Structure 1
């Protein structure tokens, strides 16, 4: 039995660095699992759409598809846009079995990636002392999504025995710059900001620029492509693949023998 195809569904951005990161991740996944059909798609701003990808897969005889939302948060896009894509895909391709996996999420293993990005930035900037941290993420109007960021921030601080605060570039406060300024008002002069975004783009750029102006001694690069991100994606795919087994099969058209078809 052929394994379901894996369709990575990213948000999309006008910044070409974002799409390049997604395609690099797909290349990494293909190297790790050369037995799987893996494709990239985007909700907005850049091609291809998930429907274009699934249409091509269906034409090639693929029967099962797992859509993996390349998102960290379980907020609006995960709860609204992704289910809408799945419903539309099932409507357009009734012969396929299609399911969405969980989002990547704020998984603890991604802190290993964050630490590597931060160590590289500290080394480049010759920063040898830190007395506070800020974890910068995209914010949400969903309080539970923001609480997940705050939990991850606490875990990050415990790793390094440093005080830490979660900060948000949109929809919630404090902003990365406000968080840095607050630490400095408390007398902490060596504040580093961890950029907890999957790829470069407008929001991580804004977080970096404003945090540095506020006095941060270092801001890490976004998470980007890594073995940890790839393994987490494959884990989400695997769980969804098991869930796919519980879906009712798509109805197939009934073909009647000519002699049983009544004519008026």
Structure 2
């Protein structure tokens, strides 16, 4: 069984998008039992689903980086279940990022919003949630830096909704200082949610005609990445099994 676990959101579009992504995974692997759960804010909750599974299960965290949720929340929930069910057989896959598939998916969403490469008047805000775990923020900054060097835009600046700098205002100011007359937002998010809405609303306050790309969503390449993470965990030696 593949048990996907996503963050969860008060925005119902988030759970709906992740559910559609899991439908794509099921289409790719109709022989595989696939279930979806959430750490918080959405149902069903990860611990509740895990406590009811029968047989071996491989958990795939639908997270873009290895930060607090991957390092604390997921193993903590597993340990809580195992205290009541010590026989539970659980493997945990790696998180989704970093992976080139995520970058190509975000770039594809930009292209769908009619933001192509080699547009020197366009500045791109790479919008992310932000984390207290600095390596997760550094990953986003590194992507923005590489895109700035190769994309042909006026610039690419990271912007975080919370817990990290720079904020949206700073990112837009830097892009305009670099010569950007058009602002575009590339969401480093799997799905719509309140944090992404916060970033988008602030960008629109500063640049009402900004172009907003969609989040990654139910992308077939993302579904294939989910399955690769699953298979890698399944094929790992027994020492990788959660215990």
TM over 0.5: yes
Structure 2 residues without counterparts, runs of 5 or longer: none
Q: CA deviation at 1:171?
A: 0.6
Distance (Å, rounded) in 2 between the aligned partners of 1:172 and 1:225: 27
Asked if the contact 2:17/2:191 (under 8 Å) is kept, the reply is yes
Asked if the contact 2:123/2:176 (under 8 Å) is kept, the reply is no
Q: CA deviation at 1:170?
A: 0.6
Is 1:52 equivalent to 2:48 in the alignment? yes
Distance (Å, rounded) in 1 between the aligned partners of 2:13 and 2:241: 39
CA 1:50–1:141 in 2, change beyond 3 Å: closer, same or farther?
closer
- With normalisation by structure 1, the TM-score equals 0.82
Is 1:154 equivalent to 2:130 in the alignment? no
CA 1:121–1:248 in 2, change beyond 3 Å: closer, same or farther?
closer
1:32 to 13, 28, 44: 28
Provide the residue aligned with 1:70 in structure 2.
62
After TM superposition, which residue ranges in structure 1, 4 or more long, deviate above 4 angstroms?
247-250
CA 1:155–1:240 in 2, change beyond 3 Å: closer, same or farther?
same
- With normalisation by structure 2, the TM-score equals 0.89
The CA RMSD over aligned residues, in Å, is 2.2
Is 1:21 equivalent to 2:17 in the alignment? yes
> Max radius of gyration: which structure?
1
Q: CA deviation at 1:50?
A: 2.3
Q: Matches of residues 237-248 of structure 1 in structure 2 within 5 Å?
A: 237-243=230-236, 245-246=238-239
Distance (Å, rounded) in 1 between the aligned partners of 2:61 and 2:131: 17
Asked if the contact 1:8/1:39 (under 8 Å) is kept, the reply is yes
CA 1:247–1:94 in 2, change beyond 3 Å: closer, same or farther?
farther
Provide the residue aligned with 1:234 in structure 2.
227
Provide the residue aligned with 1:90 in structure 2.
82
Choose between structure 1 and 2 for higher RCO, CA contacts under 8 A separated by at least 6 residues. Answer: 2
